[in-house]
């Protein structure tokens, strides 16, 4: 078995798998390492954990033949503030702002494309025991818990926001703990969602209802402060509090799966590479889920990095060239930082109970709703333009 590669990717999630497919297409020999079993099985039920994908991400995934069959287009967005009269609606019937896709559905499609690829060697159910940085002509090395040693010019850490490789490489992060959690579940709606994403800013935190079929089912994302104890309530009590918080717009909302809880912490790496380890996706940045842009930022990382590494290969440059890795950092770090700050600002604005800020956000929503050019700008932002 060959253990010498052009590149080692740690993490076979959405961004790591996408990068592997992109670079293999350009002729690079890759190792893909993950602690989970691959491939991820296809889901037989509607998803309760989803991502919102913009047009750029959809085109990218379609080019990689990894676009899921079950992807729900949404044609509009309706956002309102229950503590004021603020409301914004955008999107047109027949248009598509984006797609809601189940995490498992997308991973299953990506992993299907990875299987049997001659340029990609998969090491699943593996933990990293030891890591050594590249030194001079000596390549970087990963030692797995199986005892196997993998060598490559560059190691990409795509192992998520708790990245082990990022920590081992000594890359520091700036972190903002929102003291919140996101509660997610599959829900059934009494009234049809009409392929519109609904988001209500409530005293109990923002509630997003994201369509996952053509009629009455949606994914729930409820961001709320810690310590409210909703995970300990019965299903009936959870439904009662959800319906009271969201209101009657979609009729009664019924839980179709148990609530799952995820802590909400924004973080951003102070640098994107060090000692031959390069960060990708959530290993480099994670943001508040208010606008559903997290995975789109990750795919933007993939597009930029795959282009730069492909150009380096054609030019005969080494993949761990400092100038090359600096170019990746310059092209992605500012964009990711601006989006992170924007989401943090939205969270602070819509999380405030101060009457002044309540008036500001109400006026702001109504202003955008009344100005066609502003709505067009926000529509383009949602589509990834």
Alpha-carbon distances, residue 283 vs 163, 203, 338, 358 (angstroms): 5, 32, 17, 35
The per-residue pLDDT of the chain, averaged, comes to: 89
| Mean pLDDT within 189-214 | 92
- pLDDT at position 379 is 57
Q: How does DSSP assign 93-130, residue by residue?
A: TT---EEEEEHHHHHHHHHHHHTT-TTEEEE-S--EEE
C-alpha angle 232/265/85, rounded to 5°? 80
The more confident residue out of 331 and 373 is: 331
Lowest mean pLDDT among 40-44, 101-105, 352-356: 352-356
Overall size of the chain counted in residues = 385
Give me the phi and psi of 233, to 5 degrees please: -80, 160
Q: How far apart are CA 123 and CA 294, in angstroms?
A: 26
| Mean pLDDT within 283-308 | 89
User: Which uninterrupted H or E stretch holds 183?
Assistant: strand 173-189
| Mean pLDDT within 303-321 | 94
Residue 357 has pLDDT above 60, yes or no: no
Q: How far apart are CA 202 and CA 80, in angstroms?
A: 9
- pLDDT at position 92 is 74
Lowest mean pLDDT among 75-89, 126-140, 193-207: 75-89
Share of the chain above pLDDT 70, in %: 88
Lowest mean pLDDT among 150-154, 190-194, 221-225, 269-273: 221-225
pLDDT band with cut points at 50, 70 and 90 for residue 373: very low
Residue 361 has pLDDT above 70, yes or no: no
Q: How far apart are CA 118 and CA 363, in angstroms?
A: 57
Give me the phi and psi of 384, to 5 degrees please: 85, 15
Domains assigned to the chain: 4-39+115-172+270-344 (3.50.50.60), 62-104+178-264+357-383 (3.30.9.10)
C-alpha angle 263/279/184, rounded to 5°? 25
**Cβ pair 42, 104 in contact under 8 A:** yes
Give me the phi and psi of 185, to 5 degrees please: -170, 165
pLDDT tens digits along 228-237: 889 999 999 9
- pLDDT at position 134 is 84
| Mean pLDDT within 257-285 | 95
pLDDT band with cut points at 50, 70 and 90 for residue 384: low
Residue 364 has pLDDT above 70, yes or no: no
């Amino acid at each position: 078995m060959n253990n010498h590669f052009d590149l080692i990717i740690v993490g076979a999630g959405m961004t790591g798998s996408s990068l592997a497919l992109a670079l293999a297409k350009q002729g690079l020999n890759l190792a893909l390492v993950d602690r989970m079993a691959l491939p991820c099985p296809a889901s037989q039920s509607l998803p309760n954990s989803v991502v919102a994908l913009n047009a750029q991400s959809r085109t990218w995934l379609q080019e990689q033949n990894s676009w899921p069959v079950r992807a729900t287009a949404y044609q509009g967005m309706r956002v309102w503030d229950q503590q004021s009269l603020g409301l914004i609606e955008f999107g047109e019937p027949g248009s598509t702002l984006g797609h809601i896709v189940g995490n498992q559905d997308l991973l299953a499609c990506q992993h299907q494309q990875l299987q049997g690829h001659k340029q990609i060697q998969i090491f699943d159910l593996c933990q990293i025991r030891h890591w050594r940085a590249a030194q001079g002509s000596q390549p970087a090395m990963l030692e797995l818990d199986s005892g196997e040693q993998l060598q490559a010019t560059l190691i990409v850490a795509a192992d998520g926001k708790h990245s082990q490789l990022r920590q081992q490489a000594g890359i520091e992060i700036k972190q903002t703990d929102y003291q919140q959690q996101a509660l997610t579940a599959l829900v059934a709606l009494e009234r049809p969602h009409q392929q519109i994403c609904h988001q209500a800013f409530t005293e109990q935190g923002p509630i997003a209802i994201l369509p996952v079929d053509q009629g009455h089912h949606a994914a729930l994302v409820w961001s709320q402060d810690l310590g409210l104890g909703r995970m300990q309530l019965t299903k009936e009590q959870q439904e009662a509090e959800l319906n009271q918080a969201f209101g009657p717009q979609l009729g009664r909302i019924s839980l179709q799966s148990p609530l799952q809880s995820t802590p909400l912490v924004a973080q951003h790496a102070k640098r994107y590479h060090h000692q031959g380890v390069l960060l990708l996706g959530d290993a480099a940045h994670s943001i508040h889920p208010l606008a559903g842009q997290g995975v789109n930022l990750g795919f933007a990382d993939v597009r930029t990095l795959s282009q730069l590494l492909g150009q380096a290969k054609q030019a005969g440059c080494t993949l761990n060239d400092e100038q090359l890795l600096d170019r990746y950092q310059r092209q992605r770090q500012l964009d990711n930082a601006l989006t992170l700050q924007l989401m943090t600002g939205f969270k602070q604005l819509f999380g405030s109970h101060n009457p002044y800020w309540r008036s500001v956000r109400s006026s702001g929503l109504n202003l955008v709703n009344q100005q066609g050019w502003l709505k067009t700008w926000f529509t383009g932002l949602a589509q990834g333009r």
